[in-house]
Amino acid sequence: MKVIVDDKIPYIKGVIEKIVDEVVYLPGSAFTNELVLDADALVIRTRTICNEELLSGSKVKFIATATIGFDHIDTAYCKAAGISWQNAPGCNATSVAQYIMSVLILWQQYKAPSDMPISHFTIGIVGVGHVGSEIVSLANKMGLRVLQNDTPRADADGTKDFVSLKQIAAECDIITFHVPLIKEGKYKTYHLADAAFFDSLEKKPLIINTSRGSVIDTSVLKHAIIDEKISDAVLDVWENEPNIDLELLDKVWIGTPHIAGYSADGKANATRMSLHALCHFFNLGENFKIAPLSPVNADIFAASYNDALLQIYDPRRDSVSLKTHPKKFEYLRGNYPLRREKNAYTITIGNDIHTDK
């Protein structure tokens, strides 16, 4: 059995070799039809476009993508060709929540009016799946007023927990996007935040996007910043990655190279889920263990819990790296340093010890 693996998937080398006979590692963008012809399975990320051009005539029967999103897989072609696939839903939800939490702490410290309590502000969460649900939880814990928008869930559940995108635009001080990229149909999210959306904003909100770049129209967002329709923008995802709009990068408050979900914990989850899916499909033994490396210093001392969380992860560091080296988007993403979540640390605030271990 032969499996071709994206060489940037962490914690997989030395593990998958114990499961299958032959493993070939390639850069995600280097997969070609000729190279996959005799492969039984692929383990990929978003940089490998799985369509007829890549898969036609191949032996491939299964694709595991170590990502939440799967818009890089032509699911209709795979179904017609008898190729099964599996994504990793929720694998990096807590990692993205860590990113958003740090952004919200920074916003509260440096951007929000200091004379207003956090409960005065409203956050709109667009897309309430695995990731969005984590954001709902942390926003509630912070004391923000929370509005949720998820049209597919609202239609399916018939619940009154969700509001319209129009209400989000009218009432929110912060709007954060956590939807999959859907290019057509009733639940289309391509350019969900378009000119009409930005024209309908009433409170000059902070805009955050950690979902997919094309959920927001780049040109419209630039004009919204210039025309002060929004107060700031935080972008982790971009249209046309890795060839991102450098003018937009210069204008956003925080801009990072698609790494919000790149905690070591999230990466380990994604790899683990991909290998479980591979083993399940081919009826292989699942005798493997995947665990991220421990941080060099697992003890955090801080004046406040929020300061401790920023010591653990501050997205401004990644933003400085990208803004200093904007042409190295893919390098910064592919060579991302170890980043652990708070459960890997012991946090001491004064004499009080906090641990989530």
Task: Compute the distance between CA of residue 129 and CA of residue 96 in angstroms, rounded to an integer.
Answer: 12
Task: Compute the distance between CA of residue 117 and CA of residue 112 in angstroms, rounded to an integer.
Answer: 9
**Looking at the predicted structure, is the pLDDT value of residue 355 above 80?**
no
Q: Helix and strand tally (H, E) in the chain?
A: 14, 14
Q: What are the structure tokens assigned to 275, written together?
A: 């290998």
Instruction: Calculate Rg over the CA atoms of the chain.
Output: 21
Burial 310-327 (b: 16+ CB within 10 A, else e): bebbbbeebbebbeeebe
Q: What percent of the chain has pLDDT over 90?
A: 92
pLDDT at 356: 62
Confidence of residue 158 (pLDDT cuts 50, 70, 90): confident
Mean pLDDT of 326-354: 91
Give Cα separations from 67 to 48, 85, 186, 261, 333 (angstroms): 12, 12, 24, 9, 14
Mean pLDDT of 250-275: 97
* Angle between helices 93-110 and 305-312 in degrees, nearest 10: 120
**Looking at the predicted structure, is the pLDDT value of residue 88 above 90?**
yes
Strands, DSSP E only, in 253-343? 254-255, 299-302
Secondary structure class of 12 (helix, strand, coil): coil
pLDDT at 160: 81
Asked if residue 134 lies in contact with residue 101, where contact means CB atoms within 8 angstroms, the answer is: no
Q: How many CB atoms within 10 Å of residue 303?
A: 9
HSE of 65, CA atoms in CB hemisphere, 13 A? 22
HSE of 175, CA atoms in CB hemisphere, 13 A? 30
The residue among 260, 94, 86, 75 whose CA lies nearest residue 183 is: 75
The residue type of 44 is: I
Q: What are the structure tokens assigned to 1, written together?
A: 């059995």
- pLDDT tens for 264-311 read 999 999 999 999 999 999 999 888 899 898 999 999 999 999 999 999
DSSP sequence for 132-156:
HHHHHHHHHHHT-EEEEE-HHHHHH
Q: What are the structure tokens assigned to 176, written together?
A: 């954060």
- pLDDT tens for 25-47 read 999 999 999 999 999 999 999 99
Asked if residue 50 lies in contact with residue 81, where contact means CB atoms within 8 angstroms, the answer is: no
Q: What are the structure tokens assigned to 43, written together?
A: 């383990």
pLDDT at 204: 97
Secondary structure class of 124 (helix, strand, coil): strand
Task: Compute the distance between CA of residue 231 and CA of residue 224 in angstroms, rounded to an integer.
Answer: 9
Whole-structure pTM over 0.85, yes or no?
yes
CATH numbers and ranges of domains, the chain: 2-87 (3.40.50.720), 93-255 (3.40.50.720), 299-355 (no CATH)
Q: What residues act catalytically?
A: 212, 241, 258
Mean pLDDT of 192-198: 98
